[in-house]
């Protein structure tokens, strides 16, 4: 079909050029010129059809379906003389997969698009808090998550069905180890398998579930350290089933520490001095706090603390929270002798009272920075994106990091 279309376009273009050339030397140019313009109009609709075809591919229409219907589609487009090129060209803009942060307290969804190097735009977003009478991980929670994701993704703002999703921090095991010493320094499959087996052997006693029923990955870090991330296969299968029943396609399973680091580096770590700076990232959610220490996008430490904004309602709880954060800092110092944390970055945006952040920074005695991801991107009109900047209480850092192009 593509070859036929190319030949068809070539013939029409040749006719148009011949008609235009012929009419130049004649005294009565108007009728022939009108014919040439008419041919050019036909060619413009043909080219418009091709652009629309490419736009459909960019928006995620299945290629198989296009092959079976492309002739009908082209003919229909040529018949419709009222088609405009504006929505077609708008659709060609490349949008990223939908980032889904399925936390214990809420489901947050975001889809970003790169404006040709001129910044990032949020084209669609949604956040739904978990009902208090539904227990995280329960059957009722699964039903609620499926219906919430299905409704949010079908409202019209989101483009396509591809998603990158993160497993909730409470269902993800994270630990830090020294990389095992392997004699072979080659990059063969045998050498990689030897490292993988050594990592599993080193971590399996710490796992809260059987290592044979888990998916285990590790991320090499500085000074021969590594982050080990593991999840039960039944948990992964449950999340895959949620998105399948919500009529979405999982492009990949992401992890929240990497998503947080990506949000920081893209929105708040763009200066040359930030590339080598070690930062302490905090995303304080209602009932937990996600901690990441990184050097730009390089993860060094990650941990989830079971204390959040809802628990910081007294001086005693704030002091306990500071002790937990300080313990993370001491753990980091014991693992990385050559690195030093330079500043604290709060990624909770408007979801957490600024006074809490100021108090924590003072008690930790660290320079601090407020990192509002929503303020760092362009946002379409609320009626189009589904997101209103004013008093938005959603936690965007992880969902943005998952969707970032």
* pLDDT for 185: 58
Can you give the CATH number for the domain in which 379 is found?
3.30.420.40
* pLDDT bucket at 385, cuts 50 / 70 / 90: confident
> Is 304 part of a structural domain of the chain?
yes
- The answer on 132 and 62 residing in a single domain is no
Quick one: which of 399, 385, 389, 403 has its CA closest to 157?
385
* Same domain, yes or no: 311 and 237: yes
Task: Look at residue 156 and tell me if it is in a domain.
Answer: yes
DSSP 80-129: -TT--HHHHHHHTSPBPPEEEEE-SSEEEEEEEEE-TTS-EEEEEEEEEE
Structural domain includes residue 205: no
Count of structural domains within the chain: 2
pLDDT band (50, 70, 90) for residue 88: very low
Strand order of the β-sheet with 289-295 is 298-305, 289-295, 278-284, 341-346, 368-370
Q: Return the pLDDT at 384.
A: 74
- Residue 296 and residue 379 in one domain: yes
| Cα gap 14→42, rounded to integer Å | 13
CB–CB of 122/138 below 8 Å?
A: no
Q: How confident is the model at residue 116 (pLDDT cuts 50, 70, 90)?
A: confident
* Residues 116 and 237 reside in one and the same domain: yes
Q: Which two tokens stand for residue 398?
A: 């992880």
Residues 319 and 235 in one domain: yes
Which of residues 48, 69, 91 is at a domain's end?
91
93: pLDDT strictly greater than 80: no
Q: Is residue 183 part of a domain?
A: no
389 and 283 share one domain: yes
SS (HEC) of 343-377: EEEECCHHHCCHHHHHHHHHHHCCCEEECCCHHHC
Looking at the structure, tell me whether residues 250 and 320 fall in a common domain: yes
Same domain assignment for residues 262 and 145:
yes
Joined tokens for residue 359 = 């108090």
Identify the domain containing residue 66 by its residue range.
2-91
pLDDT tens by residue, 249-298 = 999 999 999 999 999 999 999 888 899 999 999 999 999 999 999 999 99
Q: Which residue among 72, 91, 110 closes a domain?
A: 91
Q: Are residues 153 and 30 in the same domain?
A: no
* pTM score over 0.85: no
> Do 279 and 256 lie in a common domain?
yes
In a domain, 185, yes or no: no
Last residue of a domain, one of 33, 65, 91: 91
Task: Give a yes or no: residue 336 inside a domain.
Answer: yes
106 in the same domain as 82: no
Q: How confident is the model at residue 169 (pLDDT cuts 50, 70, 90)?
A: very high
26 and 135 within one domain = no
Least confident interval from 104-118, 232-246, 302-316, 366-380 = 104-118
Asked if residue 188 is part of any domain, the answer here is: no
Give the DSSP letter of residue 372.
Answer: -
């Amino acid at each position: 079909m593509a070859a036929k279309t190319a030949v068809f376009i070539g013939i029409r273009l040749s006719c148009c050029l011949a008609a235009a050339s012929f009419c130049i030397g004649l005294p009565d140019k108007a009728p022939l010129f009108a014919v040439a313009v008419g041919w050019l109009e036909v060619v413009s609709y043909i080219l418009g059809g091709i652009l629309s075809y490419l736009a459909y591919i960019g928006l995620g229409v299945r290629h198989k379906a296009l092959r079976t219907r492309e002739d009908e589609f082209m003919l229909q487009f040529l018949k419709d003389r009222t088609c405009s090129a504006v929505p077609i060209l708008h659709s060609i803009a490349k949008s990223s997969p939908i980032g889904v942060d399925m936390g214990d307290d809420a489901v947050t969804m975001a889809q970003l698009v790169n404006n040709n190097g001129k910044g990032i735009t949020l084209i669609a977003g949604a956040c739904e808090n978990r009902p208090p009478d539904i227990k995280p991980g329960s059957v009722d929670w699964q039903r609620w998550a499926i219906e919430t994701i299905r409704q949010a993704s079908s409202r019209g703002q989101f483009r396509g069905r591809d998603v990158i999703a993160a497993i909730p921090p409470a269902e993800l095991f994270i630990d830090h180890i020294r990389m095992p010493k392997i004699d072979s320094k080659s990059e063969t499959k045998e050498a990689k398998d030897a490292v993988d087996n050594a990592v599993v052997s080193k971590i399996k006693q710490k796992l809260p579930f059987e290592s044979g029923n888990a998916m285990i990955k590790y991320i090499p870090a500085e000074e021969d350290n590594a982050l080990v991330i593991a999840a039960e296969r039944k948990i992964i299968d449950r999340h895959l089933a949620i998105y399948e029943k919500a009529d979405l396609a999982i492009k990949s399973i992401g992890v929240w520490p990497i998503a947080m680091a990506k949000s920081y580096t893209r929105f708040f770590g763009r200066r040359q001095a930030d590339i080598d700076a070690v930062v302490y990232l905090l995303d304080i959610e209602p009932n937990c706090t996600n901690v990441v220490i990184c050097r730009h996008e390089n993860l060094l430490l990650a941990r989830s603390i079971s204390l959040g904004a809802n628990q910081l309602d007294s001086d005693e709880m704030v002091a306990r929270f500071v002790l937990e954060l300080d313990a993370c800092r001491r753990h980091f110092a014991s693992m990385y002798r050559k690195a030093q944390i330079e500043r604290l970055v709060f990624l909770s945006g408007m979801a957490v009272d600024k006074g809490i952040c100021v108090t924590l920074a003072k008690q930790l005695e660290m320079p601090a920075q407020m990192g509002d991801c929503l303020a760092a991107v362009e946002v379409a009109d609320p009626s189009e994106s589904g997101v209103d900047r004013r008093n938005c209480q959603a936690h965007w850092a992880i969902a943005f990091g998952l969707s970032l192009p």
